[in-house]
Structure 1
């Protein structure tokens, strides 16, 4: 009998945002061994004196773990380090290869955002707050904790960013600060729960570098729940909640992938039908996952068409721009969906008409369906002077090599 394999899931519930210290507090609250974390952090050769304090605190009645980095000597708040300096610190440290790679990816997210905001190369970026000792501890600690937990998949809710303004090295900036919002590009956000910054650059980078998918759906069984306590005591509980859970056989099937996507729709009753072909081509060229036209009847029984586009979060704005500029619509509907897809691969078969690409789909380790790429069949039909149906019949006959 085949054993039911369980997938280990880590889920960030960012209803009050996320910061580096809140993340480590929640990880410890979840069950990461404090002695292990502190021991791994000592393997990073930072020429500074600091102390870590771990305590239990409450925010709005919710008790959790507070993680603090206390600087013991001079003021570190304006200490600058480059991305190369930090990369060297991690590469020369004794933490595991997986933790090193995760930590470098997190810092890279911050470096790329800072480079874009300030108009310089990544290697030239001088970190300020994020390069300070406490943030190095937060980021390396996040990588160490993820390595300790050995989860199979990391998920997150949409991220609360707060509101108002924040004071930093460059002065007073709107929330989210430019570097933070650059890190959060493509990530679903919420705002306005409180009038201050709830998600820091460090917290944003941890999510951007480690989360596989952002969703409000909890399709797993929670096993442990941890709360990381933030610095402020505010109108909402200033805590980060993290779930450690398991998903069953259906969820853990490696041949089935689920991802969030967007549907954009508009109803059109006043556009030349000949223009739809060009609009669809443009949408696909810019990365649309699917485009469909559905005939409908509008008010006063006017015949019309619903133009529907499925796309990833990062392509949403581009799709909207095409619909504004290349159709006659004055309005759009947009809503989030979940796409579930079978694992697929491609192979080439030789036919008497020429090579045809075949797409195969898999489920529970078995190939369950196969189909030829239509464009290949269409091209060969034109070249050989035969019908597409003739090529499809030949493919289904089993005579291909």
Structure 2
């Protein structure tokens, strides 16, 4: 299983996410070409290499084109400023010059289509125009965002994922500000750079096409920002709302480390948040943030494979006792079965399958069977009760005998290929290569998968004695 794992030890923002995914291998030209399908003007993407605490990675900046500097200066003095989820007057707020405005609230917008970017290292302020399709930023609501995305030539999958991320932010903002969903104006995420962050995330994640996205618990930072309304807590109210039900950490540094956009990217895509993992790490990417502080201001992402428990065992794993949970169903939309099977696997099922059966009165039906460890039984029953039409389930213990398995890497004419070896009482009795790797090779080389199997089988027999 190909897994993307977010290691959010220093939080996550939209630009750090893009940097990490490009560092992982997404092609910059591909990202820029796909983003051009949005038909948005007035920006360019700058990709560079940078270092935080000795860790090198990719830094992404969305550079907004300068337009009418004098007008920007005038609006800077009068505009409202959105900071960490709350609106406040810029002239009355105190800002810590150790951090950038982009990191504190993803983007900070002024009225009349302007953004205020703060350069920490130089102490300079640059004001640039951010008007998009002549839509006033304070008038851009969820409908406007939908029109921009849905009228583009992006794939349906990218459009769907982009709106899923935007919806996370919209729901949180509506809850925090006590307004109906479609009356929320996107002070933060309505600007060009935040649209790029969110749609860019959808483009990169769709391109990776992983089987599963996981994450560590998420560092949010801490502290307060003083403004006209008083002290505003960090993390921002919208960030906290988005991350409800998700494991988080607080206080590693006294400022915001996770922005609403970064939180929404995780909430919309991650199926499991887990710190204790057994992984085979295949590839690593680092996205560089704007600060240089006590902890490395980077986002780490990894392409990994989960290691099965019996693979890392040093002894033969003989018989185990596990649970089977079953139910019979004859009145449910069959399209839902794939969703349910995926869900139980994500919750830790060892196996899950559907068997066609004939029930009373000759009704064609299916039997859903789930194999899991005993401590997962309650959760599996809950999924069946909540997600299917069944009114009852049955469960029973089963004995299972497993072979010890080990993975090795073998060099072939197609490059390095993973071979799975199986052992019985310490003796290797069979070897095979993984289907997913064969599929990837067949697609990349452009040959039938049966030809890949045959060629690998002939080559691998020289490396394995089975």
TM-score, structure 2 length as denominator? 0.54
Q: Distance in 2 between matches of 1:213 and 1:343?
A: 18
> Which ranges in structure 2 are unaligned for 5 or more consecutive residues?
73-107, 111-136, 311-340, 373-380, 382-466
Q: Distance in 2 between matches of 1:170 and 1:39?
A: 43
Q: Distance in 2 between matches of 1:167 and 1:97?
A: 43
Give the corresponding residue for 1:323.
none
SS at structure 1 position matched to 2:37: coil
**Paired residue for 2:345, among 250, 257, 260?**
257
Give the corresponding residue for 1:329.
none
> Which ranges in structure 1 are unaligned for 5 or more consecutive residues?
1-6, 260-338, 365-372, 374-401
Give the corresponding residue for 2:305.
246
Give the corresponding residue for 1:194.
253
**Paired residue for 2:37, among 40, 43, 61?**
43
How many residues matched?
Answer: 274
Q: Distance in 1 between matches of 2:351 and 2:232?
A: 45
Q: Per-residue displacement from partner, 1:174-232 (whole Å, max 9, x unpaired)? A: 01111110000111000110000000000000000011111113333211100000010
Give the corresponding residue for 2:54.
61
SS at structure 1 position matched to 2:109: coil
Query: 1:118 Cα shift?
Result: 1.1
Give the corresponding residue for 1:150.
209
Query: 1:33 Cα shift?
Result: 0.3
Contact 1:9/1:220 (CA < 8 Å) preserved in 2?
Answer: no
The CA RMSD measured in Å over matched residues stands at: 3.1
- 1:1-400 correspondence runs (5 A): 7-46=1-40, 48-74=41-67, 77-78=109-110, 79-80=137-138, 81-166=140-225, 173-247=232-306, 257-259=345-347, 340=349, 342-343=351-352, 349-350=359-360, 360-362=368-370
Contact 1:106/1:206 (CA < 8 Å) preserved in 2?
Answer: yes
Contact 1:256/1:363 (CA < 8 Å) preserved in 2?
Answer: no
Q: Distance in 2 between matches of 1:169 and 1:125?
A: 22
Q: Distance in 1 between matches of 2:145 and 2:227?
A: 21
Query: 1:124 Cα shift?
Result: 1.0
Q: Distance in 2 between matches of 1:189 and 1:95?
A: 33
SS at structure 1 position matched to 2:2: strand
Q: Distance in 1 between matches of 2:300 and 2:258?
A: 14
Q: Per-residue displacement from partner, 1:233-269 (whole Å, max 9, x unpaired)? A: 0100000000012347899x9696243xxxxxxxxxx
Per the alignment, do residues 89 and 358 of structure 1 end up closer, same or farther by CA in structure 2, a change over 3 Å counting?
closer
SS at structure 1 position matched to 2:345: strand
SS at structure 2 position matched to 1:126: coil
